[in-house]
Amino acid sequence: MSAERPIDAGPAAAGFRWPAEWEPHAATWLSWPHNLETWPGRLEQAERAFVEIVAALSPHEEVRINVVGGPMEDRVRARLAARGVEVDRAVRFFQIPTDDAWVRDHGPIFVVGEGPPGEREVALHDFGFNAWGGKYPPWDRDNAVPAKIAELAKLQRFETGWVLEGGSIDGNGDGCILTTESCLLNPNRNRGDDGRAVTREDVEQVLADTLGATDVVWLAEGIAGDDTDGHIDDIARFVALDRVVAAVEDDASDINHRPLQKNFECLQAFRGAQGQAFDVVALPMPPPLVLDGQRCPASYANFYLANNVALVPTFEVPNDTRAIDVLRDCLPGREVIAIDSRDLVFGLGAIHCLTQQLPR
Provide the residue-wise pLDDT of the chain in tens; the chain has 360 residues: 333 443 446 899 999 999 999 999 999 999 999 999 999 999 999 999 999 999 999 999 999 999 999 999 999 999 999 999 999 999 999 999 999 999 999 999 999 997 766 678 999 999 999 999 999 999 999 999 999 999 999 999 999 889 999 999 999 999 999 999 999 999 999 998 788 889 999 999 999 999 999 999 999 999 999 999 999 999 999 999 999 999 999 999 999 999 999 999 999 999 987 888 999 999 999 999 999 899 999 999 999 999 999 999 999 999 999 999 999 999 999 999 999 999 999 999 999 999 999 999
**Has residue 61 been placed in a domain?**
yes
Q: How far is CA 86 from CA 9, 90, 124, 337, in A?
A: 41, 6, 28, 19
pLDDT in tens, 256-284: 999 999 999 999 999 987 888 999 999 99
Active site residue 353: yes
**Has residue 10 been placed in a domain?**
no
Residues 304 and 338: their CA atoms lie apart, in Å, by 11
Count the Cβ atoms, other than its own, within 10 Å of residue 40.
Answer: 11
State phi, psi for 32 to the nearest 5 degrees.
-65, 135
Q: Which of 259, 163, 250 is nearest to 219 (CA)?
A: 259
Radius of gyration of the chain (CA): 19
What is the pLDDT at residue 116? 66
The β-bridge partners of 338 are 312
Q: How far is CA 235 from CA 97, 130, 266, 300, in A?
A: 30, 22, 12, 9
CATH number for position 121: 3.75.10.10
Count the Cβ atoms, other than its own, within 10 Å of residue 45.
Answer: 15
**Has residue 8 been placed in a domain?**
no
User: Considering 176, 183, 330, 353, which one is annotated as catalytic?
Assistant: 353
0.75 surpassed by pTM:
yes
State phi, psi for 244 to the nearest 5 degrees.
-125, 135
**Has residue 252 been placed in a domain?**
yes
pLDDT in tens, 46-102: 999 999 999 999 999 999 999 999 999 999 999 999 999 999 999 999 999 999 999
Residue 89 C-alpha from the chain's centroid: 25
Residues 204 and 9: their CA atoms lie apart, in Å, by 18
**Has residue 9 been placed in a domain?**
no
**Has residue 7 been placed in a domain?**
no
Q: How many domains does the chain have?
A: 1
**Has residue 120 been placed in a domain?**
yes
**Has residue 6 been placed in a domain?**
no
Q: Is the distance from CB of 83 to CB of 330 less than 8 angstroms?
A: no
Which residues span the domain enclosing 207?
16-359
Per DSSP, helices labelled H in the chain are 43-57, 70-82, 87-90, 103-106, 131-134, 140-143, 145-153, 181-184, 200-211, 257-269, 319-330
